[in-house]
Amino acid sequence: MYLPDEFIVTDPNELHAFIEQNSFGLLVSQVEGLPFATHLPFLLDRTSGRHGVLIGHMARANPQWREARGQTVLAIFAGPHAYISPTWYEAEHVVPTWNYTAVHVYGSFEIVEDEESLLDIVGKSVRFYEKPLSPPWTFDGSTTFARRLLAQIVGFRIAIERIEGKWKLNQNHPIERRLKVIRSLRSRGDENALVLADLMEATLREEED
């Protein structure tokens, strides 16, 4: 990922929290010599390995996993983003841009096929995504139905070897312009713009400390 110095985020806790909050990502690898991508939910195990481990599963019919075994793969996580109009700066010689947040993770792809490990991955996934719901749906891995479903998926682990964070939030502009962008984002009122405005304010506070 292209990472100008002013946009880089390196704090592991911040990057891990971002993945957990934006866990539906994009897994990219090579299939027959060409880029191949699958949209997937990921779980993060912060405590394993040097930088953590990503865990997930995909359909057994998906050709990606067969060639991804042992590859260094890329998992992409996108956060809030918004178009930034040059009119918001109230300045001359400015251009449109796009503010956004993203994390890229690189690591070795390991296949998980044994039944008990697959049950563990599916169970953890269900508990993670059902937790905020009331009542939560529960997964019973002991049923014939569940065991039949397991035969149709493949689990995986990605030991994180490198993790990159980019918060592109107008840090290359003067504070006065950034405050005007925050005000304009808040006036839009949509959730994406409001979260981005909060992130821009947090970045400003960090710079003041």
Location of structure tokens 């269900």: 126
Superfamily of domain 5-172: Electron Transport, Fmn-binding Protein; Chain A (2.30.110.10)
Q: What is the pLDDT of residues 155-208, one digit of tens each?
A: 999 999 999 999 999 999 999 999 999 999 999 989 999 999 999 999 999 888
pTM confidence score:
0.93
At 44, the pLDDT band (50, 70, 90 cuts) reads very high
**Non-local CB neighbours of 122 within 8 Å, separated by 6+ positions:** 57, 139, 141, 150, 153, 155
Q: What is the pLDDT of residues 122-157, one digit of tens each?
A: 999 999 999 999 999 988 888 888 888 899 999 999
Q: What is the pLDDT of residues 4-25, one digit of tens each?
A: 999 999 999 999 999 999 999 9
For residue 134, which phi and psi values (nearest 5 degrees)?
Answer: -140, 115
